[in-house]
Structure 1
Amino acid sequence: MAFEPPQRLVRALGETAPNGDAWLEGLPEAAGQAVALRELTVERVQLPGGRSSLVVLVRRADGTPAVLKLAPGRARPESERAALAHWAGLGAVQLLEDVRTEGVLLLERLHPDVSVRSLPEAKALLEAAGTLRRLWVEPPGGEAGHVFETVGERTGRQAEAMAASAAADPELAPLVEVALAVRAELLAEPPEHRLLHGTFRQSKVLAGERMPWLAVGPDPVVGECAFDLARLVRDRVEDLIASPSGSSTTRRRVKRLAESLEVDQERLRGWTLFRAVESGARARRVGRAADAELLLEFANWL
């Protein structure tokens, strides 16, 4: 079959490679080779799919349903592979490895169209938080010997891009300045170093067979748990912004999530602020003005 990349993936990769993407051009051939090498039967490409990878629903030679995922190097698929191997299916999708090819992952099939976002908000947050807690483990090799990017390293790159955006956009500068100061303070004394999902939100938790809910699509990083939880705070941000009580709901959400997962409330608020400003500045930089407006308004509430 033809492995046509979903438009959502094409648009997202266009933001990071505006002058063309060799990986995207070679994707149909790479997907065909990956399928043939593993003797898979293709059912369909998952739509609308993700923003950094092609996801194909397949069956293995013995008929077992599985998922074939192909991602470019800048999406760090080998880091994802290492994290999934370390979690070994506890709280996260199981890695299946008949054949190992760089940038290609064969994964346990979950229910791709059923995430915790389908639940009422309070229940969704509870289930998502419970799933996230299972992932917060000591990284393989300990604090000094692991192979993963650290929160300091990742946010350092982001901070440079934020500062450049602020220099070109004075309206953005005050909020970026606050976010960068908060980051520096938070990195001065991190309370723990755990393996984190890195890009956790409700849509990253899918219904499974082995366990009711399992996390997918990590961009793993090592650092403090509050950093991982911060992205969950702003889930359904469009609903928060539309609500007259959005700012108070956000503050209650920070408090409730911090208490339920035993994370310092002020550190969670700080990382939530930094990550919202970073996402808002990036959205503004690539022309997603509506997304930027939502994220920066949300950040102002913190």
Structure 2
Amino acid sequence: MAFEPPQRLVRALGETAPDGDDWLEKLPEFAGQAVAAGELTAERVQVPGGRSSLVVLVRTADGTPAVLKLAPPRARPESERAALAHWAGRGAVQLLAADLGEGALLLERLHPDVSVRSLPEARALLEAAGTLRRLWVEPPAGELAHSFETVEERTGRQAGAMRTSARTDDEVAPLVDAALAARDELLAAPPERLLLHGTFRQSKVLAGDRMPWLAVGPDPVVGETAFDLARLVRDRVEDLIASPSGAATTRRRIKRLAESLEVDRDRLRGWTLFRAVESGVRARRVGRRKDAELLLEFASWL
């Protein structure tokens, strides 16, 4: 079969591709090699799919449904592999094989069209938060400990890009300054050092057969739980912005999530601010103006 990447993936990777990167052009070849190496039978490419990887629905040699995921090096697939191996299926999709080629992972098949985002908002937040809690564990020791960035390292890279944008864009400068100040304060005394999902939101929690809900697509990082939970706060941001009570709803959401997961409310608010501003500035930089406007307005409430 043809392993052509969906347009959603092509657009997303095109925004961040370094000069000379030819991973997308070679992706059909990589997929074919991984299918052959694992003696898999390919059913179809998942469409619209994600923004950082190609997902192919496959069956193993014994007929077991599975998913073949292929991601470019800049998406840190080896870090994902290490995290999934450490979680061993507890709260996250099960890693079946990671020796099918560079950037290729074989995963258990979940129900890709059913995420907790399909639930009513209050229940979706509850189920998502419960799934996230199971992932917060001590990071692996030894050699695997070096597989993961820290929150300080990741946000340090992001902070550099934010400062560059603020120097040339007066409109975002005040929010960038506030977000960077929050980061400095939060990093001064982090309360814990746990393995985190890194990019958690409702659409990253899919229905499964082994467990009702399982997390997928981590970009793992080591740090405090408030950093992980912060991305969940702004889920369905378009609905929050459209609501006359969006700002009040956001404050209640921060309070409810902080209390239910025993996270400091002020630290959650601070990381929510930083992550929303970082995402908004990045969206603005690559020309996704509508996304940028939503995120920066949301950040202004914090």
Q: 5 Å matches for 1:77-156?
A: 77-97=77-97, 99-141=99-141, 145-156=145-156
Q: State the match for 2:65 in structure 1.
A: 65
Q: 5 Å matches for 1:132-281?
A: 132-141=132-141, 145-281=145-281
What per-residue deviation string (whole Å, max 9, x for no partner) do you get for residues 3-56 of structure 1?
Answer: 110000000011002645311010000100100111111111001101100000
Q: Distance in 1 between matches of 2:185 and 2:55?
A: 39
Q: Distance in 1 between matches of 2:113 and 2:20?
A: 30
* Structure 1 residues 240 and 15: CA distance shift in structure 2, 3 A: same
Q: State the match for 1:56 in structure 2.
A: 56
What per-residue deviation string (whole Å, max 9, x for no partner) do you get for residues 216-240 of structure 1?
Answer: 0000000000000000000000000
2:42 is aligned with what amino acid? V
| Aligned 8 A contact 2:33 2:101 in 1 | no
| Aligned 8 A contact 1:139 1:146 in 2 | no
Figure out how many residues of one structure are paired with residues of the other and give that number.
301
2:194 is aligned with what amino acid? R
What per-residue deviation string (whole Å, max 9, x for no partner) do you get for residues 170-191 of structure 1?
Answer: 1110110000000000000000
* Structure 1 residues 56 and 145: CA distance shift in structure 2, 3 A: closer
Deviates more, 1:273-282 or 1:133-142: 133-142
| Aligned 8 A contact 1:14 1:21 in 2 | no
The share of aligned pairs that are identical, in percent, is 84
1:97 CA displacement = 1.5
- Give me the TM-score of the superposition, normalised by structure 2: 0.98
CA RMSD of aligned residues (A): 1.2
Q: Distance in 1 between matches of 2:60 and 2:281?
A: 42
Q: Distance in 2 between matches of 1:79 and 1:145?
A: 10
1:101 CA displacement = 2.4
Structure 1: where are the runs of 5+ without partners?
A: none
Secondary structure in 2 matching 1:101:
coil
| Aligned 8 A contact 2:81 2:98 in 1 | no
Structure 2: where are the runs of 5+ without partners?
A: none
Secondary structure in 1 matching 2:252:
helix
1:98 CA displacement = 7.0
1:106 is aligned with what amino acid? L
Q: Distance in 2 between matches of 1:233 and 1:26?
A: 37
What per-residue deviation string (whole Å, max 9, x for no partner) do you get for residues 233-270 of structure 1?
Answer: 00000000000000000000000000000000000000
1:299 is aligned with what amino acid? A
* Structure 1 residues 131 and 239: CA distance shift in structure 2, 3 A: same
